[in-house]
Amino acid sequence: MMDEHPRRSAHDVALAQYDEAVSLMPDLNPNAAAIMRVAKRELTVNFPVEMDDGRIEVFTGFRVHHSTVRGPTKGGIRYHPDVSLDETRALAMWMTWKCSLMNLPYGGAKGGVIVDPKRLSQVELRKMTRRYATEISVLMSPEGDIPAPDVGTNPQVMAWIMDTFSMHRGYSVPAVVTGKPVQIGGSEGRYDATGMGVMLLAREALKHLDIPIDGATVVVQGFGNVGATAARYMHGQGSKIVAVSDVYGGVFNPKGIDIPELQRYVAQHGAVTDFPGTERVSNSELLELECTVLIPAALEGQITKDNADRIRARIIAEGANGPTTPNADKVLADKGVFIIPDILCNAGGVTVSYFEWVQSLQSFFWSEEDVNRQMERLMVNGFDAVLHEAERKKLVPRMAAYTLAIARVAEALELRGVYP
């Protein structure tokens, strides 16, 4: 998919979105605008890992802090062959806007290692994670920068990061990461939070457009944490999931796919392809299928000016970060597609990560019911605030979300002032 569409880099996209939002904010202080346009600090690390066969392999990783004015930085760690400083920078900036929009007391960060984790044994993955965690520990702490899972990482990887940091300190520091297993201080509800949040906002958007969720048709690109969870919750609401995909390709059944059954199949076979009762579709064909809700939940740069005019969805719920380019946004706006922008749509993850951090700091744990109720409240409030701003200022939801988020960071910058 990524190769079929020559695309602007993720950072170019993030900057184009930022510049467009700033152009809509005549009262924004230009000094604040210049400060927010760049990342505060960027770390590149090259580090050796001893592989199972005794060879030494040198890996490259990154950690970027975009902004620290609203609090410590927060953002996931990605293990993927396409990770780059440019991509990490874009993802860190998007995290600043997401945390600000949701009014969480954080700035944005992101990290990653250039690696295909599926190629490593568990021992190699653990060693690589521990060494990467050590390399970025100059930037990471429960008070300063709190990582979380992203593409290619999971609760186990977070457990190793937490353990590595704790070994250096000499005592357990559960608040240094979120998305860790519940048994070692993780939060109930965190694993499902992003996908559940995507469903909640798809539900709000459907309500807004007067379309019943029961019977709505849904297409999901990516069947990992976000995609599979969103698909399962939409399925649970009575929607018909007609197609899903992963990195190996997609499956399609116009009558609807049994998602819990597909999850069992993926646990056994490692991919969605060849799931009984479905036809194959490519990742690019899948995006163009007719549906009520399209949920991109894989990587950025999937919906571009090259395929935007062939998108046949009524709503795009951006589970992934940065799946739609600014040029595609324009085409989709003209077609009347309702886009729930990434910084709002997938914010359930960082919202429950915030709850997890608070629980870890206090060693006082909430029930799953409390977590889900608080998350739903913040997500629905966020949706209402963005919709209200979009209607008030006649903006597309993405620009409404951006201007709200940027204004809040600018306000914090002005209150704190420039040091020294």
Return d(Cα 54, Cα 277) in angstroms, integer: 45
Task: Report how many residues bind ligand NAD under the rule CB under 6 A.
Answer: 26
- State which of positions 194-213 bind ligand NAD (CB under 6 A): 194
Stretch that binds ligand NAD, among 25-33, 207-215, 216-224, 330-338 (CB under 6 A): 216-224
Stretch that binds ligand NAD, among 100-108, 127-135, 148-156, 204-212 (CB under 6 A): 148-156
The least distance separating ligand NAD from the CB of residue 105, rounded to whole angstroms, comes to 18
Identify residue 404 by its one-letter amino acid code.
Answer: L
Residue 74 is a catalytic residue:
no
Stretch that binds ligand NAD, among 15-23, 64-72, 224-232, 384-392 (CB under 6 A): 224-232
The least distance separating ligand NAD from the CB of residue 167, rounded to whole angstroms, comes to 25
Q: Which residue of the set 40, 74, 110, 180 is catalytic?
A: 110
The least distance separating ligand NAD from the CB of residue 29, rounded to whole angstroms, comes to 30
Return d(Cα 216, Cα 201) in angstroms, integer: 14
Return d(Cα 263, Cα 270) in angstroms, integer: 10
Question: Is there binding between residue 111 and ligand NAD (CB under 6 A)?
Answer: no
Question: Is there binding between residue 145 and ligand NAD (CB under 6 A)?
Answer: no
Question: Is there binding between residue 222 and ligand NAD (CB under 6 A)?
Answer: yes
φ, ψ for residue 50 (rounded to 5)?
-85, 120
The least distance separating ligand NAD from the CB of residue 190, rounded to whole angstroms, comes to 8
Token pair in block for residue 98: 């997401």
Stretch that binds ligand NAD, among 11-19, 146-154, 256-264, 398-406 (CB under 6 A): 146-154
Return d(Cα 210, Cα 205) in angstroms, integer: 9
Question: Is there binding between residue 188 and ligand NAD (CB under 6 A)?
Answer: no
What number of other Cβ atoms are within 10 A of residue 25's Cβ? 15
The least distance separating ligand NAD from the CB of residue 8, rounded to whole angstroms, comes to 16
- State whether residue 3 is helix, strand or coil: coil
The least distance separating ligand NAD from the CB of residue 82, rounded to whole angstroms, comes to 8
Question: Is there binding between residue 356 and ligand NAD (CB under 6 A)?
Answer: no
Out of 129, 245, 359, 403, which residue is the one contacting ligand NAD (CB under 6 A)?
A: 245
The least distance separating ligand NAD from the CB of residue 124, rounded to whole angstroms, comes to 18
Question: Is there binding between residue 341 and ligand NAD (CB under 6 A)?
Answer: no
The least distance separating ligand NAD from the CB of residue 68, rounded to whole angstroms, comes to 20
Q: Which is nearer to ligand NAD, 126 or 413 (CB)?
A: 126
Stretch that binds ligand NAD, among 28-36, 44-52, 223-231, 327-335 (CB under 6 A): 223-231
Out of 155, 349, 382, 397, which residue is the one contacting ligand NAD (CB under 6 A)?
A: 349
**Inter-residue contact 296 to 320 (CB < 8 Å):** yes
Question: Is there binding between residue 346 and ligand NAD (CB under 6 A)?
Answer: yes
Question: Is there binding between residue 231 and ligand NAD (CB under 6 A)?
Answer: no
Out of 224, 341, 382, 397, which residue is the one contacting ligand NAD (CB under 6 A)?
A: 224
Stretch that binds ligand NAD, among 127-135, 204-212, 222-230, 357-365 (CB under 6 A): 222-230
**Inter-residue contact 162 to 183 (CB < 8 Å):** no
Burial of 52: CB neighbours in 10 Å, binned 0-12, 13-18, 19+: exposed
- State which of positions 272-331 bind ligand NAD (CB under 6 A): 283, 297-299, 319-321
Identify residue 178 by its one-letter amino acid code.
Answer: T
Vertex 96, ends 91 and 101: CA angle to 5°?
120
Q: Which is nearer to ligand NAD, 163 or 246 (CB)?
A: 246
Burial of 267: CB neighbours in 10 Å, binned 0-12, 13-18, 19+: exposed
Residue showing the smallest CB distance to ligand NAD in the complex: 224
Return d(Cα 45, Cα 55) in angstroms, integer: 19
**Inter-residue contact 188 to 114 (CB < 8 Å):** no
Return d(Cα 89, Cα 290) in angstroms, integer: 34
Return d(Cα 344, Cα 252) in angstroms, integer: 28
Return d(Cα 372, Cα 40) in angstroms, integer: 33
Query: CB neighbours of 258 closer than 8 A, spacing ≥ 6?
Result: 235
Identify residue 227 by its one-letter amino acid code.
Answer: G
Return d(Cα 259, Cα 236) in angstroms, integer: 9
Please give the DSSP secondary-structure letter assigned to residue 187: P
Q: Which is nearer to ligand NAD, 286 or 413 (CB)?
A: 286
Identify residue 264 by its one-letter amino acid code.
Answer: R
> Which residues here bind ligand NAD, judged by CB under 6 A?
1-2, 149-152, 194, 221-227, 245-247, 283, 297-299, 319-321, 346, 349
Q: What are the catalytic residues?
A: 110
